[in-house]
Structure 1
């Protein structure tokens, strides 16, 4: 066998394996939505608090968005079961739920059931033991201390097995996988397919809001015997530890193989096909004849009076072009105002820089805002580059609009927008020239103003003034003491 043949065989094998792993078996089946076996929020409950076609009991609390099977309280059990029986031999369910708790470890867990009869409150995740059907358990507490929880497993029971709590049912399972479903940002999604006695369980970890095309296979088991008719249900239980167990969606589809469909893929016999075509042609001719007669009898009604309410393809494209032109005009006006502001600011900056470089000083008005800093100059340059980029973007958009208008054609008599484009191009060229002139204009280099050395008093003058003050002070003191002595002699 050649290498190319080996490559083809391996490639086809990989594709086949991927299809099996991806759960594509239901592509060969007709899916029918079973609304009496489903529920989904919002508007989940009725005014009396009941759920259509479902019944809940125990600690279960139904709200508008979801059903809280058990609250985060110790030793609680809750359940919700379908009132209608499932009669489809093959089926598919999609369940969205959340398990949330404050602790690092949760308890006990949640279970999805398909049993011959509705379950009753019991020790197996809130339902009774010795069930007849299948239970898919989401066990969040590690009873056997093997550090393999949270764990998902399925157990088929025909009413003769007692659930082994000590080993978490590991020895009784038909399949399982270790997946973490607690405290996720979005609801966890589980899809269960039972098709031609093959059971497949798919899991979505709740890290994204949508689970479409993001399921991963948990396990698949062949030759699974389940009751031909039964009820769907969801139960949960808490123990010494407690979690909130909320179910927001339970969607059920019945599956029927395509070969069982009647009339779906059957070809119409040739005689019947010709008969139908002939009848259609006769009916179409009669319709056209009646339409022509009505038009002759009512000439004022010629044409559709509602045609003016609809616009053609060319008119729609031209409208889009002129809307774009209008937006460009607004942008150009804004750019003109911004460029004028930048030019004025740069002129003031250049005048201040020239004053500083000429040896003058900038008048100090009590604040530092009158001094032009390097940051202001950099900000102006950044604004210039931003304006240049905006103008270039507008230029490219105008070119694209011009190409689109040239592609529409056929309606130049109604709209002649060549003048508008030329005007826009002139504005853009003018703006580009202004921006280039602003960018190329380089002011003189910044220089610090010269510090004027203040005139200080010499040391000789300082000593002379100090001695003079001392002499005056001493003379005044002597004069004051002599006056006081004369006054004492007088009295």
Structure 2
């Protein structure tokens, strides 16, 4: 499998492709701002939300996204929030409650959730989950939406979670990365957050059907609690994948996002 960097869908220093002109490839929203070192999606202040979105729809069949990010702030553990998201969606530049993007989205969201809302109801959680299924925050999870599904903020997205992993990503001195690969309808997310320059598995889900022609973006939100949510780079690679004749024949165009063996109805 070969990979080719697609510069028109990538974002890195010195961030020359961001702006309001029609010739720019990326568009800022809300409280997001560009500095010399990062795109700051939100500052470490209450009630902020910001995003950066690609202006161009992506028509690649197989792709890989490497995101270099940093989440840091003054708040002590569990007194910070709320998190950030990486998107591949039909809609773009629409504000909302899902980490700074609209609810009932159509496409893929990968969320870096830094605040456990459900722990407010800790007794209910103890009854509902075993120690094995309880989460540790920050937590990374993926969700596919078809435009009819709401993200359950109070339960930290658990009802619609495809898979996830805990990821201690706040206030680290070393670089932190998330890797999202979509190949042959398989969604894989890996993380490199330990300063070892090694990817470790977070989730791997077969049978994920995403249409072509959606938009990449990243967003973040703060509420009563806050953090700096920084995007340092976002690099998209086109993957060349050899397919068998059977796979080619089975490869009818996807028009609505779905996941095999999972009802996307809530």
2:240 corresponds in structure 1 to 256
1:115 corresponds in structure 2 to 89
Per-residue CA deviation, residues 131-174 of structure 1 (Å, 9 max, x unaligned), is: 11010000000100056311100010000101111110112111
8 Å contact 1:98–1:187 — kept in the other structure?
Answer: yes
Provide the rounded CA distance (Å) in 1 between the counterparts of 2:87 and 2:187.
13
Which protein has the bigger helix share?
1
Alignment match of 1:139 (pick from 113, 126, 135): 113
**Equivalences for 1:91-110 in 2 at 5 Å?**
91-104=63-76, 105=78, 106-110=80-84
Q: Secondary structure at 1:171's aligned position in 2?
A: helix
1:71 corresponds in structure 2 to 43
8 Å contact 2:88–2:216 — kept in the other structure?
Answer: yes
Per-residue CA deviation, residues 103-147 of structure 1 (Å, 9 max, x unaligned), is: 122200000000022140101100001111010000000100056
Q: Does 1:61 align with 2:33?
A: yes
8 Å contact 2:85–2:218 — kept in the other structure?
Answer: yes
Are residues 48 and 136 of structure 1, via their aligned partners in 2, closer, same or farther at CA, if it must alter by over 3 Å? Answer: closer
Q: Secondary structure at 2:118's aligned position in 1?
A: coil
8 Å contact 2:92–2:215 — kept in the other structure?
Answer: yes
Provide the rounded CA distance (Å) in 1 between the counterparts of 2:155 and 2:19.
42
User: More relative contact order in 1 or in 2 (CA 8 Å, sep 6+)?
Assistant: 2
Are residues 46 and 152 of structure 1, via their aligned partners in 2, closer, same or farther at CA, if it must alter by over 3 Å? Answer: closer
Alignment match of 1:179 (pick from 167, 174, 177): 167
Are residues 47 and 172 of structure 1, via their aligned partners in 2, closer, same or farther at CA, if it must alter by over 3 Å? Answer: closer
Q: Secondary structure at 2:164's aligned position in 1?
A: strand
Provide the rounded CA distance (Å) in 2 between the counterparts of 1:142 and 1:167.
8
Q: Does 1:153 align with 2:141?
A: yes
2:157 corresponds in structure 1 to 169
Which protein has the bigger strand share?
2
Q: Secondary structure at 2:239's aligned position in 1?
A: strand
Are residues 34 and 148 of structure 1, via their aligned partners in 2, closer, same or farther at CA, if it must alter by over 3 Å? Answer: same
**Equivalences for 1:258-407 in 2 at 5 Å?**
258=242
Are residues 48 and 54 of structure 1, via their aligned partners in 2, closer, same or farther at CA, if it must alter by over 3 Å? Answer: closer
8 Å contact 2:17–2:25 — kept in the other structure?
Answer: no
- What's the RMSD between the two structures over aligned residues? 1.9
8 Å contact 2:117–2:155 — kept in the other structure?
Answer: yes
Q: Secondary structure at 1:241's aligned position in 2?
A: coil
Between Structure 1 and Structure 2, whose CA radius of gyration is higher? 1
Q: Secondary structure at 1:113's aligned position in 2?
A: strand
Per-residue CA deviation, residues 258-317 of structure 1 (Å, 9 max, x unaligned), is: 359xxxxxxxxxxxxxxxxxxxxxxxxxxxxxxxxxxxxxxxxxxxxxxxxxxxxxxxxx
Provide the rounded CA distance (Å) in 1 between the counterparts of 2:24 and 2:35.
13
Q: Secondary structure at 1:144's aligned position in 2?
A: helix
Q: Secondary structure at 1:165's aligned position in 2?
A: coil
8 Å contact 2:18–2:27 — kept in the other structure?
Answer: no
Provide the rounded CA distance (Å) in 2 between the counterparts of 1:228 and 1:36.
16
- Which 5+ residue runs of structure 1 have no aligned equivalent? 1-28, 261-491
8 Å contact 1:44–1:65 — kept in the other structure?
Answer: no
1:202 corresponds in structure 2 to 190
Provide the rounded CA distance (Å) in 2 between the counterparts of 1:175 and 1:118.
24
Q: Secondary structure at 1:123's aligned position in 2?
A: coil
Q: Does 1:234 align with 2:218?
A: yes
- Count of matched residue pairs: 227
1:398 corresponds in structure 2 to none
